[in-house]
Structure 1
Amino acid sequence: MRVTLERSHLLKSLTHVHRVVERRNTIPILSNVLIRTRDGGLQLKATDLDLEALEAVPAMVERPGATTVPAHMFYDIVRKLPDGAQVSLETSGDGGTLAIQSGRSRFSLQMLPESDFPDITVGELSHRFDIKARDLRRLIDKTQFAISNEEIRYYLNGIFLHTVDTPNGRRFRAVATDGHRLARADVPAPAGSEGMPGIIVPRKTVGEIQRLLDEPDADVVVELSEAKIRIATGDVVLTSKLIDGTFPDYGRVIPQGNDKELKVDRAEFAEAVDRVSTISSERGRAVKLTLADGKMTLTVVNPDSGSATEELVVDYEDDPLDIGFNARYLLDITGQLTTETAVFRLADPGSPTLVQDADDGETLYVLMPMRV
């Protein structure tokens, strides 16, 4: 194999595919990226056996072929080459090394044979639809922070994607929860998504999809079944296994009867929470909100270091209420809100609270209180 291509093209593709490769692997071939000529260009592929990234790169092919080399080392080499450089890739006659040449720089990487590289068997993908990158990015951005890290309830380690019928029509919905907070976001359901199975997309796959969606107007092709999902945009194709589990009935934890409404300036509230939580310990990050007569008092008490309070003027006309929340969770949620006013719908100190933007009915957050 001998090919020549632009450093910028190669780096962009390696940036996408090398992230799939785990830095520690017991199977040597999984540390490598597959490089092969195809359709007059170059194709790069990497996998961890659960997620596979494939990208086509424009290149001048002088001699076709294929091989695999260590992904992270190859990426680091290309990253450190100067902007605008031309990169030449050539395999040795004995099949042992790949020569990388750019200007006066020369590198030689050990290869493993292409035949050893695994391929994720996709099988039949039952549903296919197109969606704008901005819509898919919105679903991920609004819910990703609530994905659980808990290994026991593995079915919470991703985003639940499904379609639902609402009074506003059919919606494509994303939900994530870690048991302490829940995030739900909707966009109009794309044609072809009706009847799709509810799927749980793993955290790592969610992150890789998110990084690909940098052009809001780009078209994204989604193909899926109950076991796998494939995302294609531009020259990149991601294929991933899905989490084999049942996502809980999240509708049961979304409060319906919360009749105490609090409206507060989102930025002021977030800044106040951040300030008073400086006192809190890592173990107990509770901040108490005391609501009464159009005023909110935020209080944090840390027996080891001291206390902090701050008052805010708010729109609250219901019965006085003391309720506690994890400060970091409050900041995570307010960080997702986009309007000037945040709306909290509360019931009592022991019940879940609903949080939304003042004028956004497509996104909501549920937050469990803490004892304070």
Structure 2
Amino acid sequence: MNLTLERDAFLAALERLSKVVEKRTTIPILANVKMVARKGGIELRGSDLDMEIATTIAGEIEALGETTFPHAIARDYARKLPAGAKVALKLTGDRLAISSGRSRVSVPVLPAEDFPNFAAAGGDFHMVDIPASDLLTLLDRVSFCISTEETRYYLNGIYLHVVTVEGGALKLRGVATDGHRLGLHDVAVPELPAALPGVIVPRKAVEEMARLLKPLGEEKVSVTVRATTLVLVAGVTTMSTKLVDGTFPDYERVVPRGNPHMARLAADELASAVDRVAAVCSDKSRAVRFHLEDGKLTLSVKNPDAGDASDELEAEYAAAPLTIGFNGRYVLDMLGAQPGKAVAMAFADPGSPCLITPEGASGSLFVIMPMRV
């Protein structure tokens, strides 16, 4: 194998693989990148056995071939080369020479045939084409609700599935919950297959999908779902991931319907006020007391060790006075995930979950469980 490519393209490709290549592993080849130089172009591939990312770059190929080389050394070397430089890679025996101008490093390689083959499971598959921005919005709106509790592994991801909304239209829905809060977002997808199976995309894969989608804007990407795997084709990069093997709970049961007490609040004012009073919250509870009465919301925190705090802001609220507690961090996370200028909060009583719908963010809703204050 002998080829020459642009330093910037080489570095960008290595950066795209950086989250999936294992840095500390008992399997040495997982710290390597597989490079294949074929007539169609140059492909780089990384894997951690649960997820794989493959990306292609252009270059001048003098001799075809394939090998694997240490990701960390190659990325560090490429980072330190000047922008616009040419990089030559030449395989000789069990060493790969990476050079640019008068600079050169030589790294050991491992056989390409030993690199794990992330083959998609057989069976039926369903493909969805969707603008990158729409899929990114879905992930961003709900990903903060993904549970980090490993014992409830079926909550460690986003549940993607097809739903029939009012009027009979099909939409792609993403849901995430950690048992204390829930985020839900629907997006319209042309030619959405009704038979698309519901799948749980793991947290790490969600983070990688968001990273790959961000620079693509309105460009369309392809999502293929199989029995145990999901494949995202985004530009020149393909990401494959194993799915969470579990059953997502019936989330519809915890989404309140018909909460009678409604309050409308400016999102930025609410976020600022919660952030201020949370300065004296204890690290354990982070409980913020919400007291609603005619035309205003009063936020307060009492911490015997750190002091007291209160704040007041205007609210469109005309029901009976209501006092309820929430985890301040959960409220801030929710407000940070939605772009609307205002939010509507629907309450039943101090012990029931609150339904929050952002204005100007169609298709989203959030549920937060109350706390004792």
TM over 0.5: yes
Aligned to 1:297: 298
Aligned to 2:99: 101
| 2:123 counterpart of 1:122 | no
Show the 5 A alignment for 1:88-167: 88-92=88-92, 95-124=93-122, 125-167=124-166
Show the 5 A alignment for 1:177-326: 177-213=177-213, 214-326=215-327
Show the 5 A alignment for 1:25-40: 25-40=25-40
Question: What is the CA-CA distance between 1:74 and the residue it aligns to?
Answer: 1.6
Question: What is the CA-CA distance between 1:96 and the residue it aligns to?
Answer: 2.0
Contact 1:163 1:189 in 2 (8 A): no
Aligned to 1:10: 10
Matched position secondary structure for 2:317: coil
Structure 1 residue identity aligned to 2:319 = D
Structure 1 residue identity aligned to 2:165 = T
Over residues 242-288 of structure 1, what are the superposed CA-to-partner deviations in whole Å (9 max), with x where a residue is unaligned? 00000000000000021100111111110010011011121121100
Compare 250-259 and 213-222 and name the one that shifted more.
213-222
Looking at structure 2, the residues matched to 305 and 129 of structure 1 have their Cα atoms a distance apart, in angstroms, of: 52
Structure 1 residue identity aligned to 2:35 = I
Aligned to 2:172: 172
Compare 95-104 and 51-60 and name the one that shifted more.
95-104
Over residues 35-67 of structure 1, what are the superposed CA-to-partner deviations in whole Å (9 max), with x where a residue is unaligned? 110234211001011101111110100111111
Distance 1:176 1:297, change over 3 A: same
Unpaired stretches in structure 1, ≥5 consecutive residues: none
Looking at structure 2, the residues matched to 303 and 322 of structure 1 have their Cα atoms a distance apart, in angstroms, of: 20
Looking at structure 2, the residues matched to 16 and 167 of structure 1 have their Cα atoms a distance apart, in angstroms, of: 40
Looking at structure 1, the residues matched to 230 and 75 of structure 2 have their Cα atoms a distance apart, in angstroms, of: 26
Contact 2:216 2:235 in 1 (8 A): no
Matched position secondary structure for 1:261: strand
Matched position secondary structure for 1:153: helix
Distance 1:68 1:20, change over 3 A: same
Show the 5 A alignment for 1:28-67: 28-67=28-67
Matched position secondary structure for 1:247: coil
Identity %: 46
Structure 2 residue identity aligned to 1:19 = K
Matched position secondary structure for 1:88: strand
Contact 1:288 1:322 in 2 (8 A): yes
Looking at structure 2, the residues matched to 356 and 104 of structure 1 have their Cα atoms a distance apart, in angstroms, of: 60
Distance 1:219 1:358, change over 3 A: closer
Structure 1 residue identity aligned to 2:317 = Y
Question: What is the CA-CA distance between 1:226 and the residue it aligns to?
Answer: 2.1
Show the 5 A alignment for 1:331-350: 331-350=332-351
Question: What is the CA-CA distance between 1:129 and the residue it aligns to?
Answer: 2.2
Looking at structure 1, the residues matched to 351 and 202 of structure 2 have their Cα atoms a distance apart, in angstroms, of: 31
Question: What is the CA-CA distance between 1:12 and the residue it aligns to?
Answer: 1.4
Structure 2 residue identity aligned to 1:342 = V
Looking at structure 1, the residues matched to 64 and 115 of structure 2 have their Cα atoms a distance apart, in angstroms, of: 18
Looking at structure 2, the residues matched to 144 and 190 of structure 1 have their Cα atoms a distance apart, in angstroms, of: 23
Compare 213-222 and 348-357 and name the one that shifted more.
213-222
Contact 2:120 2:226 in 1 (8 A): no
4+ residue segments displaced more than 2 Å: 358-361
Looking at structure 2, the residues matched to 85 and 360 of structure 1 have their Cα atoms a distance apart, in angstroms, of: 44
Contact 2:46 2:54 in 1 (8 A): yes
Looking at structure 1, the residues matched to 292 and 218 of structure 2 have their Cα atoms a distance apart, in angstroms, of: 43
Question: What is the CA-CA distance between 1:210 and the residue it aligns to?
Answer: 0.8
Looking at structure 2, the residues matched to 286 and 44 of structure 1 have their Cα atoms a distance apart, in angstroms, of: 48
Structure 1 residue identity aligned to 2:259 = N
Unpaired stretches in structure 2, ≥5 consecutive residues: none
Structure 1 residue identity aligned to 2:176 = A
Structure 2 residue identity aligned to 1:72 = A
TM-score, with length taken from structure 2: 0.97
Matched position secondary structure for 2:334: helix
Question: What is the CA-CA distance between 1:359 and the residue it aligns to?
Answer: 4.2
Looking at structure 2, the residues matched to 226 and 144 of structure 1 have their Cα atoms a distance apart, in angstroms, of: 22
TM-score, with length taken from structure 1: 0.97
Contact 1:127 1:192 in 2 (8 A): no
Matched position secondary structure for 2:84: coil
Contact 2:171 2:192 in 1 (8 A): no
Contact 2:11 2:78 in 1 (8 A): yes
Looking at structure 1, the residues matched to 132 and 370 of structure 2 have their Cα atoms a distance apart, in angstroms, of: 35
